[in-house]
Structure 1
């Protein structure tokens, strides 16, 4: 009952982002329930990503601005646009994108090597990115490429690629003309919770995309970890 009532006040806009919820004592009096019942109700809202609890401010409503992702648009041409897909999508919402990037050469895990169809012991380049929106960590993206394909290119070198790795693949003669997406949900690892500053109980969506060139050869495997409370994935399908 307590959680349902508070949930209604949040979804209706009576309490907005940054607003403070009534104290535990006030909720106990208003609903004639025990402190334990109130704490369980507040815990539900925390787990749903609706509120956050801090020592000084108590319980406040979280800002909910999920980033809208259109997976089918990643490979579509954007005439005159020089930014990579993530930066462009965030900017379209009037928000500020940024990212931390690490580039290394690795023996990829079996799952990645299998998706890239790499022979045994074949190396890959991985570009690991922690992405931010308005200064807040929003998701991670690890993109793997066969070393034999991208060696010597910008993909294999440290630093950002403003126009995006997909454009570099095109310039190397391997544009992605087909992709296969796998998407599933799970709870985050402790490392993901720390890097993405996740609230307790927040699930993540794992989004794996394999890109193939004109010859049907896999040229990229991208593994994204998306906090469920910060992303909305939208697919648009047409039957013509």
Structure 2
């Protein structure tokens, strides 16, 4: 696209951006070298470098020194919110997420951390506890073929899960929902809330997002039969990775 009003480095970025978004430059394709771009656009090599840097910041290309620059290959995740309420797979070494990604012929992995935190306002509201009360969070960063695709952070009242497997930074073979049930807090329904916004710097770093990438926030709050909220899971889903195929705004466990 010819945009003569733009600075030269922005015209370079716009030209390659158009080729990437149109599919003319497919994922994994190598871009011309800085020298070749400078010659094609009749600019200094530094100007070509600045144009490429803009595309790197936008998350459209990646620099692999010394080979050059390549169009980013995205690992999309099919996201099914209702899977939260389905039983764990029979394989004790694989959760629902791992089962899904493996069935697609890709390699799942995740990092799990557990911490005691002071409940922030959004979680405190959903768990119906005072802001600042100490709660438990299980943070999971999920990967497909080594690329981070979403975060899954589950929050629990401390008095509900203290001393249980939920407090350990490892996968729970029987599933955390079953742990809650075995502790005497079976969930009979859950509510889903979806929001869209720009990510915070911490979220950009954690998910390795390109500049200008919005995220979807999915809150899942699970309740016992007497109406007590015992779990609030927050899923962060990059808009350039995730395909939401089903949504359930309120559901009951069988």
Q: TM-score over 0.5 for the alignment?
A: yes
* 1:235 is the counterpart of 2:246: yes
SS in 2 for 1:177: strand
Contact kept, 8 Å, 1:90 with 1:96, in 2: the verdict is: yes
- What does residue 137 of structure 2 align with? 126
Instruction: Give the aligned length.
Output: 236
- What does residue 99 of structure 2 align with? 88
Q: Structure 1 length normalisation: TM-score?
A: 0.78
Per the alignment, do residues 78 and 197 of structure 1 end up closer, same or farther by CA in structure 2, a change over 3 Å counting?
closer
- What does residue 165 of structure 1 align with? 176
- What does residue 191 of structure 1 align with? 202
Contact kept, 8 Å, 1:139 with 1:224, in 2: the verdict is: yes
Instruction: Kindly state the Cα deviation for residue 111 of structure 1 after the two structures are TM-superposed.
Output: 2.1
Q: Structure 2 length normalisation: TM-score?
A: 0.75
Gap regions ≥5 residues in structure 1: none
Between the aligned partners of 1:142 and 1:118, the Cα distance in structure 2 is 17
- Within a 5 Å distance, the mapping from 1:75-224 to structure 2 comes to 75-77=85-87, 80-82=90-92, 83-119=94-130, 122-224=133-235
Gap regions ≥5 residues in structure 2: 2-11, 249-254
Aligned alpha-carbon RMSD (Å): 3.2
Between the aligned partners of 1:120 and 1:8, the Cα distance in structure 2 is 47
- What does residue 64 of structure 1 align with? 74
Instruction: Kindly state the Cα deviation for residue 173 of structure 1 after the two structures are TM-superposed.
Output: 3.3
Instruction: Kindly state the Cα deviation for residue 106 of structure 1 after the two structures are TM-superposed.
Output: 2.8
Between the aligned partners of 1:155 and 1:220, the Cα distance in structure 2 is 11
Instruction: Kindly state the Cα deviation for residue 155 of structure 1 after the two structures are TM-superposed.
Output: 1.0
SS in 1 for 2:113: strand
Between the aligned partners of 1:208 and 1:18, the Cα distance in structure 2 is 34
Tell me whether 148-157 or 81-90 shows the greater mean CA deviation. Answer: 81-90
Between the aligned partners of 2:129 and 2:244, the Cα distance in structure 1 is 30
